[in-house]
Structure 1
Amino acid sequence: MRFLHTSDWHLGRSLHRENLLPAQRAFLRHLVQTAQAEQVDAVLVAGDVYDRAVPSLGAVELFDEALHALAALGVPVVLISGNHDSAQRLGVGAGLVARAGVHLRTAPEPEALAEPVVLRDAHGEVAVYGLPYLEPALVRRRLGAEEVSHTAVLSAAMDAVRDDLAARRAEGGDVRSIVLAHAFVIGGESSDSERDIAVGGVPSVPASVFEGVDYAALGHLHGCQTINERVRYSGSPLAYSFSEAEQRKTMWLVELGPSGEVDARRLDCPVPRGLARIRGELDELLTEDAHAAAEGCWVQATLTDAARPPQAMERLRVRFPHTLQLSFEPQGREDDGLHSYGARVRGHDDGAVALGFVRHVRGAAATAAESTLLVEAVEAAARVVGGEI
């Protein structure tokens, strides 16, 4: 059986206020064309269809367009909700759209998790189970998990899957199996654009959770990666932060053999515009040939000039018209080796933190007069908070 594994579309998301709906439309049309050209038996979408629980009208229309196109091809779609999606909203009408071959798996109840979409090819049945994002505090009791943790609730869900799979095999012989899940699996590398899921305890789960199935199609991490032969992330089809500038954006084309053998190949997604991170003094960035490749890219620029140059963004955009982000790291600034802001301010009183902030932004310490005014302001604010004023 041949299928496409994709995830983390994040429809409606922007990149530093740059509208990405046209790029997302180009990807979804590419997905439909690929499904037709490769004659796939199914498309698997491992969560985060939308970027937020209440998506924009444009995002909803784009999703609707893609589902209609896949349904017109007769290609089944199995889709789960991710931590960015509203499971209830995404799952509306699931019973109706299933008749068109679009199978939404958004409910966290054990009986729903253990109800697969059953596909068939010349070698028999393939049971496709969809495990939506499971927030531990919300689903622990329903799943009978031993504790409030991502590992516990996903393990409980997988126990239900394995029980159902064992029953099917007892009745009908060999049944191959696929699981869709949205989670942070140990061994995966994250990027800046993924929403933290640590609120439900330690966010990562071991890959061993998925033992007993032939293929686990994962979503959540935005980089395409292989945890092991049977456990893979497709990654997002577009770069959603500059931390993803070096990532190759792809889908997995997976062949599931007659005995559950896995043969996976990466298929590139269309790149609307490259991302580039450039660093240096402003005059160098504006003149050096080494930066020519970034001229047509979305750009994140870091200026290292000792003093902040006037009209830096306007001047950068003359050569790099798609500059989206600009930061300053002046040369010669003291660095105590602590990169966490929390680590930098730990143990300091409010006045010291405020003075440190001035030094960080300006690249030089406040004057004696400025220091006096700032400390007096901090002390006055503290008295207001303490109810003395």
Structure 2
Amino acid sequence: MRILHTSDWHIGRSFHGHSTLDALRDVLGTLVDQVRDHDVDVVIVAGDVFDSAAPAAGCYTLLTDVLRGIAETGASVIVTSGNHDSAARLGFQSGLLRTGIHVLTDPLALDTPVVIDDADGPVRFYGIPYLEPGVVRHLWGGAVMRTQADAIDHAMGLVRADLEAHPARSVVISHCFAAGVEATPGVEREIRQGSLDVVPLSSFDGVDYVALGHIHGRQQLAPAVRYAGAPLHYSFGEGAKPRGSWLIDMDAAGGIEASWLDLPIPRRLVTLRAPFRQLLESEEYAAHVDDWVCAQYTDSTPQIDAMRRLLARFPHCATVMHTPPASAADATGGYARRVRAVRSDAELVDAFLAHVRDGEGASDLEAQIVRDVIEQRSLVEATT
């Protein structure tokens, strides 16, 4: 059986205020072509189909079009809910969907698999929707469910019991933070408290393949335990990570061979770090005028109207950050020490400017202006 493992579509998510719907439509259109070209039997979407619990109407339209396109290739589709989705909204029309499209969002049905046959017999697909312990613990009276790891352990116990009663090749689909994974800071919404909700890989023992969602970059935690990541870049922290899906070939004994299918990147992401004038003028950055740009300028002082000026060169500049080098003031013991060492009002102003400018004190002109102001104040005080 040939399976395409994808996840974290996040339909409706914006990128620094810009809609991603059109870009995602094009990318998922390529995914549909890959399903057809590679004779895929089953497509898995491992959670976070939508980016929010209340997606806009256009998000439903995109999902419907993509699911219809996959079904028209002859492949089956199995979709589960993630921590971004509303399981109720994602699953409300599951009974109305055409044959071959399965939306699994009910925790009480997680041990009732979708069974798909090929020439070697049945494969049982178990969809574990995202399990928030505080929300689902009442569903299984007496079960210990303080953490997400507890919830997954309980779910997998139910899965293994079903497999014991109905031996077959098996696939589990889950949306969680598994042990050993490398997350992208600020990208994946946190679904753990410290280390309590990290799910041990041993929790997934007993099945032939585990298709995970939640992490936005592809990762292999074990030969049969993988994250596919998101089809689009949703953060500059993801910019260097490939986008695509795992193509899984499962043999008659449940053994797998995995290969990676790249998806197109509609617009590259790049972080440029340099002095402001260099960002605006250097030919070194000319190749990035059509990219999404995170501009980090290293001048000691903030620039006026930085975004407008950068947009004139980089029309897709999404964010601007002032990232000066480490403060020279810190190297001399910090602001308080500098203030204690001053011997005049002029030196006090210079110490303050050096503090807020990361080590750069008053220029010659500024120092002269400060001296003039101090002298004028002294004359006023002397005459009053």
* Alignment match, 2:135: 138
User: For the pair shown, which has the larger CA radius of gyration, 1 or 2?
Assistant: 2
Q: Which amino acid aligns with 2:246?
A: W
Counterpart contact for 2:300–2:357, Cα < 8 Å: no
Percent identity over paired residues: 44
Counterpart contact for 1:254–1:263, Cα < 8 Å: yes
**TM-score, scaled to structure 1:** 0.83
Question: Over residues 313-363 of structure 1, what are the superposed CA-to-partner deviations in whole Å (9 max), with x where a residue is unaligned?
Answer: 2221222111000111223525979xxxxxxxxxxxxxxxxxxxx999765
- SS of the residue aligned with 1:100? coil
- SS of the residue aligned with 1:185? coil
* Alignment match, 1:315: 309
Partner of residue 154 from structure 2, selected from 143, 153, 156: 156
Change (3 A) 1:335 1:33: farther
Q: Which amino acid aligns with 1:272?
A: P
* Alignment match, 1:190: 183
Counterpart contact for 1:221–1:233, Cα < 8 Å: yes
Change (3 A) 1:93 1:305: same
- SS of the residue aligned with 1:139? helix
The alignment status of 1:100 with 2:82, answered yes or no, reads: no
* Alignment match, 1:71: 71
RMSD: 2.3
Q: Which runs of 5+ in 1 are unaligned?
A: 170-174, 338-357, 366-389
Question: Over residues 126-160 of structure 1, what are the superposed CA-to-partner deviations in whole Å (9 max), with x where a residue is unaligned?
Answer: 00000000001111232453241111110000000
What is the CA–CA distance in structure 2 between the aligned matches of 1:363 and 1:84, rounded to whole Å? 40
What is the CA–CA distance in structure 2 between the aligned matches of 1:308 and 1:8, rounded to whole Å? 37
Counterpart contact for 2:329–2:355, Cα < 8 Å: no
What is the CA–CA distance in structure 1 between the aligned matches of 2:277 and 2:194, rounded to whole Å? 47
Change (3 A) 1:303 1:40: same
- SS of the residue aligned with 2:155? helix
What is the CA–CA distance in structure 2 between the aligned matches of 1:242 and 1:87, rounded to whole Å? 29
Partner of residue 259 from structure 2, selected from 265, 272, 288: 265
Counterpart contact for 1:107–1:132, Cα < 8 Å: yes
Shift of 1:201: 7.3
Q: Which amino acid aligns with 1:107?
A: D
Counterpart contact for 1:118–1:128, Cα < 8 Å: yes
Counterpart contact for 1:279–1:302, Cα < 8 Å: yes
* Alignment match, 1:20: 20
- SS of the residue aligned with 1:35? helix
Question: Over residues 236-255 of structure 1, what are the superposed CA-to-partner deviations in whole Å (9 max), with x where a residue is unaligned?
Answer: 00111110011011101110
Aligned residues: 339
Counterpart contact for 1:150–1:201, Cα < 8 Å: no
* Alignment match, 2:380: none
Shift of 1:311: 2.4
* Alignment match, 1:352: none
Q: Which runs of 5+ in 2 are unaligned?
A: 332-352, 361-384
